[in-house]
Amino acid sequence: MAQHAASDTVIEASRPTLFEATADFLRTNIDGGKLGPGVVLQESALSERLSVSRATIKRALSILAEEGLVRRFEGRGFLVAGDDTPQRLDLRTLELDLDQIDETVGQPNWQRIQNEIETELSRCLIFGRYRVVESLVARTFDVSRTVVRDVLGRLQERGLVQKSTNSRWVVEPLTAQRIKNKFELRMVLEIAALRSTHPDGEALAALARDIRDLPADGPLSPETWFDLDGRFLQLAILATPNQDLAAYVGANRSALEASQRVLFSIGLPPDRQSLLELCMVIDLIQAGTMPAAANMLNTHLANALKRTIAQLKIVSVIEPPADLAGYLVPA
Q: Which domains does the chain have, with CATH numbers?
A: 18-80 (1.10.10.10), 109-173+321-330 (1.10.10.10), 176-315 (1.20.120.530)
Which residues, 6 or more positions from 59, have their beta carbon under 8 angstroms from its beta carbon?
19, 22, 23, 142
Give the separation between CA 54 and CA 103, rounded to whole angstroms.
19
- Structure confidence at residue 207 (pLDDT): 96
Per DSSP (E only), the strands in the chain are 40-41, 70-72, 78-80, 130-132, 162-163, 169-171, 328-330
Which residues, 6 or more positions from 176, have their beta carbon under 8 angstroms from its beta carbon?
309, 312
User: What predicted TM-score, i.e. pTM, was given to this entire model?
Assistant: 0.63
- Structure confidence at residue 248 (pLDDT): 92
DSSP 39: B
Give the separation between CA 3 and CA 103, rounded to whole angstroms.
35
- Structure confidence at residue 8 (pLDDT): 37
- Structure confidence at residue 4 (pLDDT): 38
Series of mean pLDDT values for 10-residue runs along the chain (331 residues): 37 57 88 90 83 79 92 82 87 74 58 81 86 91 85 87 91 88 96 93 95 88 94 95 93 85 83 94 95 97 94 81 88 86
Give the separation between CA 47 and CA 22, rounded to whole angstroms.
10
Give the separation between CA 45 and CA 64, rounded to whole angstroms.
17
- Structure confidence at residue 104 (pLDDT): 54
Give the separation between CA 123 and CA 141, rounded to whole angstroms.
18
Nearest CA-CA partner of 160 in 307, 262, 11, 229? 262
